């Protein structure tokens, strides 16, 4: 069976678009993700999982603070994929006046114009070489709007040509970087706070 078919099939498994935000000391960050999965069947103990690339500024904030928030993107805010997904907080500040937000628990930035926000504490993590899979307990949650989430497959055709090129340039750096790091898995168990 050809491995080439995997790429298209795996893209069917991408979750709705979210903005993962985090904070540590006086730093804040946020990034688009298609990898925020519900991870608990117990309503009183909600959990989720996210996969975060290590090169992302947000990754450092999550590992330093053991906390992050998931902001579920509104369909009408699809343009935020560029603000939060094409550039790094290390290059330019994403939390300008153009994007309404407020400081939530532990200083984590929460987006006011989201479908809802989930504030999480990491309980375990698995190293994947180029990325980390974080398992987190949801400590606070707020549903702001009764709307359906939006998927990358719906947003991708809406992107202007310059944005497609810009994202292509980013991927041409990120993909080889990930490829070179995927074999470097640290198998030691992760230790969270007591």
Ligand X SMILES: Cc1cc2nc3c(=O)[nH]c(=O)nc-3n(C[C@H](O)[C@H](O)[C@H](O)COP(=O)(O)O)c2cc1C
* From 39, 87, 123, 159, residue interacting with ligand X (rule: CB under 6 A): 87
Write out the binding residues for ligand X, residues 14-33 only, by CB under 6 A: 29, 31-33
* From 52, 70, 73, 110, residue interacting with ligand X (rule: CB under 6 A): 52
CB of 138 to ligand X, least distance (A): 18
Helix H or strand E segment including 143:
strand 131-143
CB of 76 to ligand X, least distance (A): 17
For ligand X, give the closer residue by CB, 89 or 117: 89
The yes or no reply on residue 88 touching ligand X (CB under 6 A) is yes
How far apart CA 7 and CA 165 sit, in angstroms, is 20
Site string for ligand X, 146-175 (x = CB under 6 A): ------x-----------------------
Write out the binding residues for ligand X, residues 103-142 only, by CB under 6 A: 131
Q: Supply the DSSP string of 4-50, one letter for each residue.
A: THHHHHHHTTPPPPEEEEEEETTEEEEEEES-EEE--S-TTS-EEEE
Q: Are 113 and 71 in contact (CB under 8 A)?
A: no
For ligand X, give the closer residue by CB, 11 or 142: 11
Using the CB atoms, write b or e for 6-35: b if 16+ within 10 Å: eeeeeeeeebbbbbbbbbbeeebbbbbbbb
Q: Are 158 and 145 in contact (CB under 8 A)?
A: no
Interface ranges with ligand X (CB under 6 A): 29, 31-35, 51-53, 56-58, 81, 84-85, 87-90, 131, 152
């Amino acid at each position: 069976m050809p491995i080439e078919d995997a790429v298209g099939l795996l893209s069917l498994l991408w979750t709705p678009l979210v903005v993962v935000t985090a904070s540590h000391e006086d730093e804040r960050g946020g990034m688009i993700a298609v990898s925020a999965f519900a991870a608990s069947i117990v309503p009183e103990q909600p959990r989720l999982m996210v996969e975060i690339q290590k090169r992302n500024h947000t990754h450092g904030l999550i590992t330093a603070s053991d906390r992050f928030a998931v902001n579920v993107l509104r369909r009408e805010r699809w343009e935020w994929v560029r603000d939060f997904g094409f550039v790094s907080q290390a290059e330019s500040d994403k939390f300008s006046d153009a994007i309404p937000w407020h400081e939530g628990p532990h200083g984590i930035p929460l987006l006011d114009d989201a479908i809802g926000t989930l504030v999480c504490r990491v309980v375990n993590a698995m190293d994947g070489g180029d990325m980390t899979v974080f398992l987190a307990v949801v400590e606070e949650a707020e549903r702001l709007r009764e709307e359906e989430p939006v998927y990358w497959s719906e947003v991708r055709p809406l992107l202007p040509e310059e944005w497609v090129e810009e994202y292509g340039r980013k991927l041409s750096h990120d993909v080889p970087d990930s490829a070179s790091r995927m074999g470097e898995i640290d198998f030691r168990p992760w230790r969270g706070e007591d």
